[in-house]
Structure 1
Amino acid sequence: MVKLQSYPPIWFLRHGQTEWNRAFRLQGQMDSPLTEQGIAEAKAQAALIGPVLLQSPAVIVSPLGRTRQTADIVMGGREYATDPRLMEIDAGAWQGRLCEEIMRESPDLAHTSPTALQIYQAAPDGEGLERFHNRITAFLEDLTGPTVIIAHGLLGQVLRAQVCGLSLDAAGHLPNLQGCIYHLERGQEHILAGAT
């Protein structure tokens, strides 16, 4: 466990499924568009967000295309800000490559049955977990009130672990769902999801 910090209420949304998510291709700070499923997931988030927006939270989005495409659907034309600190972890030389290829070429890593976060952490010329965590923490420390965040899966795992006082080792094992909203308040997480 890490020391529990005090942050304002946060509603975290992961972008909908993308073409590269579906193909198990590492995106990092590269991009691919939402699939039909991803658009449906963003619409499901839009159906959940109404009561949250009545509280007039700040809305901050990663500037990458897949998150902006998601935010445009979720927010229904409402304005939002972007912040580069919300971009996904940079996977360096592995960005754009299929996970299957990476595991075949990296048997020592594959042998450990790594989480997605561990794969990105190991990427040659990548950002690495420490720098990634530091920029997420800096972003969180700048929050001044209730905030909706629309960003990425691995960023969400690290951010949610930080808010809930969990270790970075635990972060990669947190759920990483699309089409829902993670409500974070007082060090606790609750998942808001529609009927399936």
Structure 2
Amino acid sequence: MSDTPPLYLLRHGQTTWNAAGRVQGQLESELSDMGRDHARRQGEILSRIDLPEGLGVYCSPQKRTRQTAELALGGLGLVPRFDDRLKEIHLGAWEGRYYADLTERDPAFFEGRSTLMLCLEGPGETLEDMRARVGAFLGDLDGPALVISHGVALTVLRGLVLGLDIEAMEGLGAEQGVIYELRDGAQIVHR
């Protein structure tokens, strides 16, 4: 999607479920202490970036992204609009379960797969579903945007913007506490 305006992407901070190894998907969980630190760090990073005029601010409506938005954007006077298309991938029967229990039940499926591949090949939404949902969001943008969302959703979004296949998307990373900037077909990571 070469005509995409500049994007500033924030993955929510670590949650209590991230720390415990639980599958979240579209279920709700709270930011951990470390997650609140991640969000505050994102606010500090944003304060150093020369954000463009007319910046749209969008956020997944899930609790962990709303908490991240409050901490990262509060001091900057930025108020997000919530968009369901930015929710995390729905993971069906896996949601709320522990990765360790799922791995024990089906070790062959989990062996050698990245978290991204597990999510996109597990129960629930597929890569095609995610591309359609996130692509519809991108198609509605009419200027630069700051987006607060989730690991898989943002990886798919970045893959669409950068024209990447699934294997290349795996190398994009899904760090918490950083800002991913997409501009002119390239990704810059602000720390």
Give the TM interval when normalised to the shorter protein: over 0.9
CA distance in 2, matches of 1:174, 1:141: 22
Tell me how far apart the structure 1 counterparts of residues 6 and 15 of structure 2 sit (CA, whole Å).
28
2-structure distance, mates of 1:178, 1:75: 15
Identity of aligned residues (%): 39
Q: Which residue matches 2:167?
A: 169
Q: How does 1:29-178 map to 2 (within 5 A)?
A: 29-50=26-47, 51-53=49-51, 55-76=53-74, 78-111=78-111, 113-124=112-123, 126-178=124-176
Name stretches of at least 5 consecutive residues in structure 2 with no aligned partner.
none
Equivalent in the alignment of 2:5: 8
TM-score by length of 2: 0.93
Kept after mapping to 2: 8 A contact 1:29/1:91: yes
Contact 2:57 2:78 in 1 (8 A): no
Q: How many residues align?
A: 188
2:20 counterpart (18, 23, 26): 23
Tell me, what secondary structure is at the counterpart of 2:188? strand
Q: State the alpha-carbon separation in 1 of the partners of residues 185 and 27 from structure 2.
A: 31
Indicate if the aligned counterparts of 1:183 and 1:192 stay in contact, CA closer than 8 A.
yes
For the aligned residue pairs, the C-alpha RMSD in angstroms reads 1.4
The structure in which a higher percent of residues are helix is: 2
C-alpha contact 1:115 1:173 (8 A) present in aligned 2? no
Cα distance in 2 for residues equivalent to 1:78 and 1:143 = 17
- Note if contact 1:93-1:123 (Cα within 8 Å) is conserved in structure 2: no
Aligned counterparts of 1:25 and 1:39: Cα–Cα separation in 2: 18
Letter in 2 for 1:118: M
Q: Which amino acid aligns with 2:88?
A: E
Shift of 1:53: 4.5
Q: Do 2:52 and 2:144's aligned partners in 1 also have CA atoms closer than 8 Å?
A: no
Deviations 1:96-120 (A, max 9, x none): 1111111111122123x11112211
SS in structure 1 at match of 2:130: helix
Equivalent residue, structure 2, for 1:189? 187
Return the TM-score normalized by structure 1: 0.91
User: In 1, are the aligned partners of 2:54 and 2:143 still within 8 Å (CA)?
Assistant: no
Deviation at 1:54, TM superposition (A): 6.0
- 1:52 shift after superposition: 4.3
